[in-house]
Amino acid sequence: MSPSFLEIPDLPMEMIMNNLDYIAIQSVRKTCWGLRNFIDDKKPGIGIKQISICQMDNTAVRLAINLPSSYYYLAPSSELPKAGFILKYEKHENGCRISVTTSDGNKTKYVKNFNFLNAAFHDFKVALNTQKAIFKHVEVTGKTFFEKFEKVMKSQKPIATESMEINVNVNFLKRARQILQHADPKYLKSIEYFKEPIRILETVKLESSKNIQNFSHFSSISIQSKKLDVDSIRAIKENFFQFHEYNKHLLVLAVVQENLFIDAFGATFEPPGEMEGYVIRD
């Protein structure tokens, strides 16, 4: 008698699983406890690069996998990349409606007696734990679901991502800290905040950011200011000089008077054949 699928040795089983996409993996995972435990233990390399969870309103949440931001709202299913898909969770009567959009089209199912937020965060957590590889980008956009996010993430290991994007419109600093503390600082290279205006009045020390030295050691810093004056520029320059082991770049996207920089830095430096600019030396 031929062996059953569950009797396949681990190595060939893992090779088979590595050829399945995320949705196929989740379908196989639901078939029996043996396959579920194997997938949870081995975490086949399905190659998730980006994850986005977005609260659209008080009754809907969207979870996007392997998609750049430009796809989240406008792209029809026919234009989605093969590895990308969108899950949408909506409150519906006494349960929730879950729709999935892939390059093959759209599917919808209804689940009774299941809260849409619970469904969305369950799948978000599953996606975070699906693979061993580091994520390239994780995005969290929220309005009111922060308590649920915090509850889910308490039992979750820090998110291993190179880039974290946070979009919050209410109680921005409090909510941004609440989200950022769940990113693993060992892998984090980029943090993006989207809120207008942003007023950071103090540096808050998080458990996940012990290696951060008040943000002054970052090699690339973008500083936005409504009012640019000589004292501000000099303060930035002095801050740069405190850390000699890092390269510093100051880019000003505004129309300013040239004598403002001359007063702060002195005359401009213009190498032959290049755009004139300033080289700050200590």
pTM of the model: 0.67
Cα distance between residue 158 and residue 136, in whole Å: 14
Apex CA 265: angle with CA 262 and CA 268, to 5°? 60
- Note the pLDDT of residue 71: 47
C-alpha dihedral sign at 110, 114, 115, 119: negative
How many other β-carbons are positioned within 10 Å of the β-carbon of residue 190?
13
Cα distance between residue 197 and residue 241, in whole Å: 28
Return the amino acid letter for 27.
S
How many other β-carbons are positioned within 10 Å of the β-carbon of residue 235?
12
pLDDT tens digit sequence for 186-236: 888 888 876 555 555 555 555 555 655 555 555 565 555 566 677 777 777
pLDDT at 148 over 80: yes
Which residues fall within 8 angstroms of residue 80, CB to CB, at 6 or more apart?
67, 71, 86, 101, 102, 103
Domain limits of the chain?
Answer: 1-46, 47-209, 219-282
pLDDT tens digit sequence for 35-76: 888 888 888 766 788 999 999 889 999 999 876 544 444 445
Question: 120, 130, 122: which is closest to 63 by C-alpha?
Answer: 120
